[in-house]
Structures are given as C-alpha cells and as structure tokens.
Structure 1
Amino acid sequence: MGASERVVPEGARRRRRPTKGGTVLSEQLIVETTLRLIGEHGAAALTVRRLGAALGCDPSAVYRYFKDTDELLLAVADELIGRTLNSWRPTGDWRADLRALGLRMHADYMAHPQAAMLACARVTGRRHEIRSVDAILGVLRGAGFPDAEAVRIYHVFVDQTLSFAALDASTLALPVRARELEARAWRETYARMPAETHPHIAATSGVLVAEMDRSGYPAALEMVLAAAAGRLAHVLEGSGPPGA
C-alpha cells in the first residue's frame, strides 16, 4: 500500500489511545513537533522515523495525517504563516499595515531559520497562506490600487520578504565559527582597505561595516513601499500607473 493510500479521512484521524508519552496525536501536534525538530537538527530532522521517536509513537502513525514528508513540510510552512497573521492587526493605513506585516513575517522566519530555508520557496495552498494572500490583496485594493497593480505589488512584496527571509535565515543557520569569520571579514578586511587602491570602500568603510552587520530587508521594504506609493499617486491623479 502506498503512503498516499494510508491517509485517513479527517474525522477518523484521532488515535483511540495516547502515545507512549501520554499525548493524543493531532495534525497540530505533529506540525509543532516537526518545527521544533527542524530547529534543533535542520533538514535532516524531517523524517518520519525521527518524528515518530519524538512523538513517542510508531512512525507509521504519522501517515494517518500526512501522506509524505513533503506534505508535512507544507503544513509547517503554513503554520509559520499562520503565526504571523495571528500577531498582525491591520489599521487601515495600507503602507503602515504592509510595513508591519513584512517586518513581522521576516522576524518570524528569523525565529525559525532552519525551517525558513526549507519553507520560503514553497506554495502551500493551505488555509493560512490563502488567508494571507486575501488579506494583502485586500489591503492594496482597499488603498485604491487597481487589481492588476494590487497583484503586481503583492507579488513583489511577498517575494522580496521571502527572499530576504531565506537569505538571512541561511546566515543564521551557519555554524557560529563561520558567522564570526564573515563578520570579521567586514571589520578586518573591508574596513582596512587603502584609499589608494579602493577609494570608495575606504571612504565609506565605517558606514559599510555597520550596514552589512544587519539585514537589508527593512531598507528594501521601505523602497518597495515608496515605489508603491508613487504608483498609487499616479493612479489617484488619473494619469495611470507609470510604465503600464
């Protein structure tokens, strides 16, 4: 019997008896345990065998909820989206709302860098992702963006956020020694470049070292929001979006 054939309908999934650890399995418990294991052990943790051991159940019990580890990964990705949405409260100010959501998304992925590297490139098609797509489009359409512009800005906003999340997560996931060497390169190599050979690095070295020690996402987000505001101004003036 294939794994996909072992999936039990939603109503029949609850175990009649608790696991060895005394807990009753549920999709949410499996997702939360998987997220914890990925944080502790990286991508190698995403195996049914390791998950069964952590849950105190036979690994085959996981197949009652997920047909394979890829479906489980999509559920983990959707869980991260849900956590972000649950902590975000739109105010009606589209620019402030997108700023708050983008920064919240980035921060939540940074809290789970190992999972972020696995999840940022995935489209889950699940409940929380669908909620987020609708919410962001609602913010943009409510601000007055025409549908085509709202979709375009949504696309740029989300892809930018996820791209920075994946990039910054990969840095956080590096071994401590590797991260220290990267930071030292900016301080000890770039900060000491002579003006005779590298005049522009030498002229900006103090700012450069400080800037490269933090994520570029907040600045990039402001650039996207400013560009979107400019496009909206053209729409509201009746001249149509530039470059359309």
Structure 2
Amino acid sequence: MTDDPDSPAPRPAGARRGRPPSNALTRERILDAALALLEREGPEALTLRRLGADLGSNHTAVLRYFAGKDDILLGLAERLIAEAVEGFEPGPTWRATLAGLARRVRRACLAHPALAVLVASRVSRRDAEFRGADLVIGALLDAGFAPREAARHYRALVDVTLAMSSFEAASAVLDGADREGDRMAWRREYLAASPRRFPHLASVAPHLAGADEDDQFEFVMELLLNAVETRLGGGA
C-alpha cells in the first residue's frame, strides 16, 4: 500500500485486467435487449430510446454499434436464421436436406413469432443467411439443376417457407381470444355454412376442420418438393 499520489488507483475487488465491465455495451448485448423488448412488449416498443433505457445507457451509445433501428432488425433477422441453421447437416438426399431446413426455419419462427413477423421478409446479408443459402443451393445443384434453375428454385423454396412460417407466427402473436376464435372458426362457422348457398364448401367443411398447422406445412412442402422433382425430371 502506498500514499504516492501518482500510483494507479486499485482495481475493484473481482475486476480483471483487460476485461470490460459486465454491463458494457456490445453488439450481442444490444441484440439480446432488443429481442427481449420485442418479445415482451411488441414491435411498437422497440425504439432506440427505449432500448437505451433498458440497457442503462443513452440511446446514442447504441449507434456506436448499429447504424440505426433497421440495422438492429437485420441483426435480429440474422439471429433467427442462425438458430435455424446452427448444427444442421445435409440429409441423405436433396429432398431430405430441403425439408429438414424448412422445418428448422418454421421452428425458429414459431419460437420467436414477434421477431418473425417483423423480419421474415428481410434480407439480412450476413453469414447465417449465406450459410442457409449455401445449403439449399448445394442441395439443388446436387439434385442436378443448372445454376440458373438452382437460383430460381432457391428463391421459390425460401420465399414459400418464410411466408408460411411468418403467416403462422402472425397468428401466434394475436391476443389469445382472437387466436382461439380464428382456430375455432373452422369447427364452427365453416361447419355451419349453408349447404344451399355454399354447396361445395359444405361438402368438404369437416375436412377443413381437421387440417391443422403442422399438417398444412408438411402438405405444402410436399407439394413444393414434388413440383421441384417434376421439373428436375423434365430437364428444367
């Protein structure tokens, strides 16, 4: 211990040289807070000022790490795709690879529905998205498509998968009573539709009630992959 006024002040107990304090801002901490705020209070709450308050910092400090709110949303879009592709290995066939990836994307969207509604249509242009694109395009090239057709089929597969997943996510973020009302409509209003006025609808109404979200996703993926296979066999 010294009384020399020029000696450095002692570090707080437990502090380590070179390690930032636990509450220091980082890109990952900002994204953590943004996701928590979005999932807790919805998209309207996600502002730079509110994010800064939740982080215990002035909102301008966030702008040292992100260009603005849209840049944060693209970072969150990257996280969503990263969750879907993390640890994924191609399947034994191109169809298995594409179906497996589609199911993972849907699972990630339903795990974070408020985020999926906001960012499913965005292009994050970051590594996780590139990794997903590489997996899908690789499967299509392995199947035998030429590069131009592989690119077209990639865009179609990804757009349909994200559209279905974000559509389902939009339902998941509805008020509980509204969501249940929409779900029960297939078993109430559709079944009660007048056979005289809507004969074709009435003839299949019981089957509409039996088709749930899991069934519909798998059915659409099967239709889409069958179409891809048909085009492949036709020399597309």
TM range (shorter): 0.7 to 0.9
Measure the CA separation in 2 of the matches of 1:228 and 1:184. 34
Measure the CA separation in 2 of the matches of 1:158 and 1:45. 29
Give 2:160's aligned amino acid: Q
Contact 1:34 1:45 in 2 (8 A): no
Following superposition, the deviation at residue 107 of structure 1 comes to 1.3
Q: What CA RMSD, in Å, does the superposition of the two structures yield over aligned residues?
A: 1.9
Count residues in correspondence.
218
Measure the CA separation in 2 of the matches of 1:109 and 1:32. 17
Measure the CA separation in 1 of the matches of 2:23 and 2:201. 58
Equivalent position of 1:26 in the other structure? 26
Equivalent position of 2:119 in the other structure? 119
The answer to whether 1:220 aligns with 2:236 is no
Following superposition, the deviation at residue 77 of structure 1 comes to 0.3
Measure the CA separation in 2 of the matches of 1:177 and 1:105. 27
**Which of 1 and 2 has greater Rg?**
2
Query: What's the TM-score, normalizing by structure 1?
Result: 0.83
Taking structure 1 as reference, are residues 45 and 88 closer, same or farther at Cα in structure 2, changes over 3 Å only?
Answer: farther
Query: What's the TM-score, normalizing by structure 2?
Result: 0.85
Q: Deviations over 1:208-243 (max 9, x none)?
A: 1121x4253221111111111112223xxxxx32xx
Contact 2:144 2:232 in 1 (8 A): yes
Following superposition, the deviation at residue 28 of structure 1 comes to 1.6
Contact 1:90 1:97 in 2 (8 A): yes
- Give the secondary-structure state (helix, strand or coil) at the position aligned to 2:174: coil
Larger mean Cα displacement after TM superposition, 119-128 or 190-199: 190-199
Equivalent position of 1:130 in the other structure? 130
- Give the secondary-structure state (helix, strand or coil) at the position aligned to 1:196: coil
Equivalent position of 1:158 in the other structure? 158
Taking structure 1 as reference, are residues 43 and 203 closer, same or farther at Cα in structure 2, changes over 3 Å only?
Answer: same
- Give the secondary-structure state (helix, strand or coil) at the position aligned to 1:218: helix
Measure the CA separation in 2 of the matches of 1:89 and 1:16. 36
Measure the CA separation in 2 of the matches of 1:23 and 1:130. 31
Larger mean Cα displacement after TM superposition, 62-71 or 87-96: 87-96
Equivalent position of 1:82 in the other structure? 82
Following superposition, the deviation at residue 190 of structure 1 comes to 0.9
Measure the CA separation in 1 of the matches of 2:58 and 2:175. 33
Following superposition, the deviation at residue 62 of structure 1 comes to 1.0
Measure the CA separation in 1 of the matches of 2:190 and 2:113. 27
Give 1:57's aligned amino acid: S
Unaligned runs of 5+ in 2: 1-17
Give 2:145's aligned amino acid: F
- Give the secondary-structure state (helix, strand or coil) at the position aligned to 2:63: helix
Give 2:213's aligned amino acid: R
Give 1:96's aligned amino acid: A
Measure the CA separation in 2 of the matches of 1:220 and 1:91. 20
Measure the CA separation in 2 of the matches of 1:69 and 1:16. 28
Equivalent position of 1:50 in the other structure? 50
Equivalent position of 1:71 in the other structure? 71
Measure the CA separation in 2 of the matches of 1:17 and 1:134. 36
Equivalent position of 2:147 in the other structure? 147
Following superposition, the deviation at residue 63 of structure 1 comes to 1.1
Larger mean Cα displacement after TM superposition, 64-73 or 127-136: 127-136
The answer to whether 1:187 aligns with 2:193 is no
Equivalent position of 1:204 in the other structure? 204
Give 1:132's aligned amino acid: G
